[in-house]
Chain A
Amino acid sequence: GESVGLHLPTLSVQEGDNSIINCAYSNSASDYFIWYKQESGKGPQFIIDIRSNMDKRQGQRVTVLLNKTVKHLSLQIAATQPGDSAVYFCAEKDSSYKLIFGSGTRLLVRP
């Protein structure tokens, strides 16, 4: 289940289950959103993106859903694997192309 730890909220899932990571964004004028995966000691790695004129986009094992009405973004990972364990950040892009990152969620995959 999902819990709030001392710092990053943590989602613990069983290997093979589906994971859903949620994110609330701040700027209703943002028109581009990205999910990043960050493993320990590494830089953020692009997973999937979505533009504001879409509400769903699918990749390989991942789906991003965008609800502009409530400014909510979610990342769904199908058949979660141990290699999916990492911290996941959503980011929104404003008119200057700078990224505004959310606070992140740690995903732990139990074998």
Chain B
Amino acid sequence: NAGVMQNPRHLVRRRGQEARLRCSPMKGHSHVYWYRQLPEEGLKFMVYLQKENIIDESGMPKERFSAEFPKEGPSILRIQQVVRGDSAAYFCASYSTGDYEQYFGPGTRLTVT
């Protein structure tokens, strides 16, 4: 039973480019969270999605950031026109209704040069 998968594991982008981060939840899980982690800090909530629905995006910057979780395929976190301050590790977590535990993926480390 594969765990949460994220790709790419490392992503380098120049300022102004777009970054696309993918997350495949655990089999049978239809809820996905995205978190951002700056070096030496805890994870900060960004967005909570169910299939085809954004439930809570209160932690996501209003501009340049978007997320989706389509009926088929992985969840995508998209960052347009990246800036150096977007450099961070981005983690997704999935869970199943009735199970409190969130299972985390290995993360995508984004570096903006």
B25 proximal to A (CB < 8 A) = no
Measured between C-beta atoms, what is the minimum distance from A94 to chain B in Å?
A: 10
Contacts of A100 in B (CB 8 A): 45
| CB contact between A44 and one of B43, B55, B56, B59 (< 8 Å): that residue | B43
Number of interface residues of A (CB under 8 A): 22
On whether the beta carbons of A46 and B42 are closer than 8 Å, the reply is no
On whether the beta carbons of A43 and B48 are closer than 8 Å, the reply is no
Number of interface residues of B (CB under 8 A): 26
Within B32-53, the residues touching A (CB, 8 Å) are 33, 35, 39-45, 48
A32 CA to B102 CA, complexed, in Å: 12
On whether the beta carbons of A43 and B104 are closer than 8 Å, the reply is yes
Q: List 6 A-B contacts (CB under 8 A).
A: A7-B39, A7-B40, A96-B56, A98-B56, A101-B44, A102-B42
On whether the beta carbons of A98 and B106 are closer than 8 Å, the reply is no
Q: A8-B40, A89-B42, A101-B44 are in contact. Are A43 and B105 (CB under 8 A)?
A: yes
Measured between C-beta atoms, what is the minimum distance from A106 to chain B in Å?
A: 9
A45 CA to B3 CA, complexed, in Å: 12
On whether the beta carbons of A89 and B104 are closer than 8 Å, the reply is no
Contacts of A49 in B (CB 8 A): 100-101
Interface string of A66-109 (1 = CB under 8 A from B): 00000000000000000000000100010011111111100000
Contacts of B48 in A (CB 8 A): 96-98
Interface string of B69-104 (1 = CB under 8 A from A): 000000000000000000000010101000011111
